[in-house]
Amino acid sequence: MIPIDNFLVLSAILFSLGMYGVLARRNAVLILMSVELMLQAVVINFVAFAVYLNPETFTGIIFAIFVIVIAAAEVGLALAIILRLFRNRQISNVDEADLMKW
Amino acid sequence: MGMDQAWLIPAIPAAAFAILLIFGPYLPRKGDWLAIAAIGASFVLVFPMLADLLDQADGTTYVAGEKAWEWLSFELAGVGETFEIEIGFYVDPITIVMLAVVTLVALMVQVYSIAYMKGDLRYGWYFTAMSLFAASMLTLVLANNLLLLYAGWEAVGFCSFLLIGFWWEKRSAAEAAKKAFITTRIGDVGLLIGIIMLWHEGPNTFNIQEIIHFAEEGGYGNTYLTAAVLFLFMGALGKSGQFPLHVWLPDAMEGPTPVSALIHAATMVVAGVYLVARMLPLFEVADPIALDIVLIVGLTTVMISATMGLAATDIKRVIAYSTLNSLGLMFVALGSSAVAAAMLYLFVHGFFKALLFLGAGSVIHATEEQDMDRLGGLAAKMPITAATFAIGTLAMIGIVPLSGFWAKDEVLVFAEEEQNIIVYLVLLSSLVITGLYMMRLFVRTFLFAPRVQETYAHAHEGGLLITVPLLVLGLLATVGGFVVFDEVGEALGFPGGFAQFVFLHGAHEFKFHLDTAITSTALAGGGAVAGWVLWQDKAALAAHIRDAFAPVSALLANRYYIDEIYQFAIDRIVLVLGGIIAWVDRVVVNDTGVNGSANLGYFAGFEIKFLQTGRIPNYALAIVAGILVLSIVMLVTQV
């Protein structure tokens, strides 16, 4: 059996890549993709712990499915916002969408 | 109809007040007849009360009638006691005497007012306020508990304020109303403190009789009770215009003259006397110093008011000083524990002082002049007013057999027996001064040559509405004193005579000392004759004396500078202190505390809002940084 450390390292790498993307990218679509990467890192964690800690039940795996479903819904919502932003103001750079302030 | 229906006596004028207040302007004659009918009904109702009281009496021991309704009742949290406030009425001989004086004088004054106030801009309002006054005064008199008494007490003060300032377009009247209200308020605060003190340590009730009973059994500590009764006395001091709170009464003469007759002579100002008479058992249980203070205050008032009366030239002010003089005498009597003497004086004083005021009102009505230096010789034109005024004057001076003589004599007998010789001598000397200034008032107004022909020329006697009340009060002022004789008292229905009737503690008789009577009559009569001689004709002799003692006459004419001292104290102490407090309020509380904290919030919000850039990467960075910080904190604390 592959040791759990390998999964955790993979998850940490994926999460860090996603976080870097969220912080460094300016394009809204790419930020969205980075957020997805972070979510997948979490899913890997869930599944790995589910198998290693409590193989008899499916709690962790079901949680992973929940996360995937919610991520899909979230992507739908976020893409709709990005689409409206682009339609109305012809921008996809989040730096330019800064009207929600004082 | 008996004592249980005593509530009707104040309720009828109160109902009249309510009707007049709402419908007054639409009633024929502005509703004056309603006010008079109401007070007349109250007057008539006094007699069934008296009859019932006498019916239930066992010999000369009277069973007071008391009836009370619960008004407010609630559990005191944590104490387990019930706090109750009642509306209750208590009828005993003192109450009956007060009721008789108040309703009779009020009736006479209101009848008189029809003529006196005729054509006034606020004729209807005058009778409305008078009805409210009657209702409040009768509530005060009948109250069985201190809280209801206090409510009536404040209400009469308010009516006094309304009626002194009745002609408020005149600045001096508005000022006088304010002065009267504030000055009496100072005393009222003391009264309220006294009531709360008696309740706090007492039997958890405001009922006067229960409190007296509790005190007589030694329920209160001696010092505590003394302090409480002195606070009560402070209320009496303000209401009855005793030194040093007497300053409002002379100024209160700015009101219509019938108001002065009713409120500032016969009824409201004697409320203080009534209060002390009612609570006298407490004063007797307390330290003797309490009664000594009552006595000294009364004596001081007698002397300063009598001397100030010598210098005043406004006829109403002179009568106001004579009222202070009489009230002082009543307090001297109370200070000697002579309830019967004080109540007798109160009884007859109500008649002869109202008579004097109504007489003065008749003069003012006829001449529109109230400065006696511009009057004179009016007896020829106004014989009835002059004759009744003479009766009032002589009764005030205390000449046999007018009512004032008997009452004053009774006070003197008590002062002679109970107090030391100085008190007695001071009282005797005050009689001379009373004789002087009352005779001066009469001589300068009614006799010898008129000083201003124009005023004299159109003076005339008023109609029946003015002369009939004068004659009724004149009659009462003449014969009112005869109640001291046991035979007269019994014939009137008081078993054992008036003194027996009024006195609270068992048997009591009027004492008549021939030597005291002769001394006092000689002194008072001497004063009166001297007054006649001094102020006759052109008052040359009086002017000569006045010039010879210029500093003294200036002191008297300026009322001992007491008003100036108060004004100085208000300007330099009260207003400066008020200014400091206002500054603290404005700068510290308002600018720093209230506006300061609001400004701080506004300023902080203005600065902090720039943290919100609206850029998503900034927020993302903040989230990440926050998580990192939290993680580090967790790591550090867990290791």
Please report whether residue A99 resides in a domain: no
The residue behind tokens 């290791």 is B639
Query: Which residue's structure tokens are 């000022």?
Result: B175
Residue of B nearest to A101 (CA): B614
The pLDDT, as a whole number, for residue B191 is 94
Rounded to the nearest angstrom, the gap between the alpha carbon of residue B393 and the centroid of all alpha carbons in its chain is: 22
Q: Does A95 touch chain B (CB under 8 A)?
A: yes
Give domain status of residue A48, yes or no. Answer: yes
Predicted pLDDT of residue B1? 66
Taking the C-alpha atoms of residue B108 and residue B100, their distance in angstroms, rounded to an integer, is 12
Is residue A102 included in any domain, yes or no?
no
Q: Is residue A98 part of a domain?
A: no
Lowest mean pLDDT among A80-84, B396-400, B536-540: B536-540
CATH of the domain at A78: 1.10.287.3510
Question: What pLDDT score was predicted for residue B493?
Answer: 64
CB spacing of A101 vs B613 below 8 angstroms: yes
Tell me the residue range of the domain where A82 lies.
Answer: 4-89
Neighbours of B493 (CB within 10 A): 12
Q: How high is the ipTM of this complex?
A: 0.85
Q: Which of B32-46, B335-349, B493-507 has the highest mean pLDDT?
A: B32-46
pLDDT band at B127 (very low <50, low <70, confident <90, very high): very high
What tens digit of pLDDT does each residue of B443-498 get? 888 888 888 888 788 888 888 888 898 999 999 888 888 877 777 766 666 666 66
Query: Is position A43 within any domain?
Result: yes
The pair of structure tokens assigned to B90 is 């208590």
Residue A32: how many other CB atoms lie within 10 Å: 18
Q: How far apart are CA A16 and CA A41, in angstroms?
A: 9
Using CB atoms, pick whichever of B609, B612, B620 lies closest to residue A23: B620
Neighbours of A89 (CB within 10 A): 11
| Cα–Cα distance, B534 to B526 (Å, whole number) | 12
Higher pLDDT, B74 or A72: A72
Taking the Cβ of residue A26 and every Cβ of chain B, the question of whether any pair is shorter than 8 Å is answered with yes
Kind and range of the H or E run holding B150: helix B146-164
Q: State percent of chain B over pLDDT 70.
A: 95
Give the phi and the psi of residue B506 in degrees, each rounded to 5: 65, -155
Number of Cα atoms under 13 Å in the Cβ half of residue B431: 26
A51 lies in a domain? yes
Percent of chain B with pLDDT over 90: 37
Instruction: Give me the pLDDT at residue B60, please.
Output: 62
Contact B277/B200 with Cβ under 8 angstroms? no
Q: What is the pLDDT of residues B543-591, one digit of tens each?
A: 888 888 888 888 888 888 888 888 898 889 989 999 999 999 999 999 9
In a domain, A100, yes or no: no
* Cis ω before B28 (30° cut-off from 0): no
Q: What are phi and psi of B145, to 5 degrees?
A: -130, 160
Which residues in chain A are contacts of B620 at CB distance < 8 A? 22-23
Say whether residue B171 is in contact with chain A using an 8 A CB cutoff.
no
The DSSP annotation for B309-352 comes to HHH--BHHHHHHHHHHHHHHHHHHHHHTT-HHHHHHHHHHHHHH
CB pairs under 8 A between A and B: 26
Residue A45, pLDDT score: 92
Q: Each residue of A91-101: b (16+ CB within 10 Å) or e?
A: ebebeebeeee
B606 interface with A at CB cutoff 8 Å: no
Grouping H, G, I as helix, E, B as strand and the rest as coil, residue B85 is strand
Would you state the pLDDT for residue B633?
95
Predicted confidence (pLDDT) at residue B158 exceeds the cutoff of 90 = yes
Average pLDDT over residues B215-240: 90
Write the pLDDT tens digit of every residue in B275-311: 998 898 889 888 889 999 999 999 999 999 988 888 8
In one-letter notation, the amino acid at residue B465 is L
B609 lies within 8 A of chain A by CB: yes
For residue B506, is pLDDT > 60? Answer: no
| B141 — pLDDT class (breaks 50, 70, 90) | very high
User: What's the pLDDT score for residue B449?
Assistant: 80
Query: Domain total for chain A?
Result: 1
Out of B612, B621, B624, closest to residue A101 by CB = B612
Supply the pLDDT for residue B495. 63
Judge whether B612 is closer than 8 Å to chain A, CB to CB.
yes
> Using CA atoms, how far apart are residues B396 and B353, in angstroms rounded to an integer?
8
The pLDDT score that the predictor gives to residue B217 is 87
What is the distance of C-alpha B62 from the center of its chain? 28
Residue A95 in any domain: the answer is no
- State the pLDDT confidence band at B355, using cuts at 50, 70 and 90: very high
pLDDT band at B402 (very low <50, low <70, confident <90, very high): confident
Q: What is the pLDDT of residue B497?
A: 65
User: Which of B153-162, B258-267, B504-513, B574-583 shows the lowest per-residue confidence on average (mean pLDDT)?
Assistant: B504-513
B29 burial (CB, 10 Å; 0-12 / 13-18 / 19+) is: exposed
Q: What is the pLDDT of residues A49-98, one digit of tens each?
A: 988 888 888 888 899 999 999 999 999 999 999 999 899 988 888 888 88
Question: Could you tell me if B502 and B344 are in contact, meaning their C-beta atoms sit under 8 angstroms apart?
Answer: yes
- Per-residue pLDDT reduced to its tens digit, B62-71: 777 788 888 8
- Chain A neighbors of B610, CB-CB under 8 A: 102
pLDDT at B494: 66
Instruction: For residue A100, give how far its alpha carbon lies from the nearest alpha carbon of chain B (Å).
Output: 5
pLDDT of B326 > 90? The answer is yes
Q: What pLDDT does B294 receive?
A: 92
Interface contact B623, partner A, CB < 8 A = no
Of the pLDDT bands very low, low, confident and very high (cuts 50, 70, 90), residue B539 is confident
pLDDT of residue B450: 82
Per-residue pLDDT for B80 more than 80? no
Give the helix/strand (H/E) hosting A50.
helix A28-53
The CA distance from A97 to the nearest CA of chain B, in Å, is 7
Closest CA relative to residue B260, chosen from B319, B306, B190 = B319
Q: Which of B616, B618, B627 to mutate to test the interface with A (most CBs of A within 10 A)?
A: B616
